[in-house]
Amino acid sequence: MKNKRVKNLKRELLSDNWYRLEKVSFDFRLGNGKWESQTREAFDRGNGAVVLMYNLEKKTVILTQQFRLPTYLNCNESGFMIEACAGLLDGNNPEDCVRKEAEEETGYCLDQVEKIFESYMSPGAVTEILHFFIAEYTDEMKVGGGGGISKEQERIDVLELPFEDSFKMITGGEIRDAKTIMLLQHLKISGKMTK
């Protein structure tokens, strides 16, 4: 449904290098009925999907670690982030995306994935909506070494951690990635890892 409080939308491409950055001008109708001209920038990197893999028997999770330049630029001394496995949809449906990314990044071939919710991660500046999944894994699902795709300059370390340790890493500051925190909290609240 179109928002009747927005009109005269104009887009100007500022960058189309790695992702797309646009300057957007528009008129927005205020609560008192008056129109106000506004200008914002919107960063479009496409939509994505993320999966937290867990093992009920071992009470472990699979996470990844990789260098993230923006965090390094924002006072993360190492620039390395511990994250749940994720990627852009690139034309795939979200379920196929997380299966593909899980195999590329972690080496696990997932059977079943369970969608739990969707979220905009930074709606003030980024258009991306992220599809969140959880998936049970077993050692038998390991079909490769993971590590990502080298031609995409992915250098990913695969971490298998006790769930309780990974959960403590949130308050300890070792895990600072929003999508990963949300998924670990979901798994904690669900009670799956305490059964």
- Dihedral pair phi/psi, residue 136, rounded to 5°: -80, 140
Q: Does 86 appear as a known binding residue?
A: yes
Using CA atoms, how far apart are residues 65 and 105, in angstroms rounded to an integer? Answer: 10
The 8-class DSSP code of residue 151 comes to G
What is the number of residues in the chain?
195
Instruction: Provide the angle, in degrees to the nearest 10, between the axes of the packed helices 163-171 and 178-190.
Output: 130
Position of tokens 């109708």?
29
Structure token pair of residue 114:
């369970």
Q: In whole angstroms, how large is the CA radius of gyration of the chain?
A: 19
Contact 132, 118 (CB under 8 A): yes
Q: Is 101 annotated as a binding residue?
A: yes
Residue 57 known to bind ligand? no
Q: What are residue 19's DSSP bridge partners?
A: none
How far from chain centre, in Å, is Cα 49?
6
Whether the Cβ atoms of residue 52 and residue 184 lie closer than 8 Å to each other: yes
Contact 164, 76 (CB under 8 A): no
Numbered residues of the known binding site for Mg(2+): 86, 101, 105, 154
Numbered residues of the known binding site: 86, 101, 105, 154
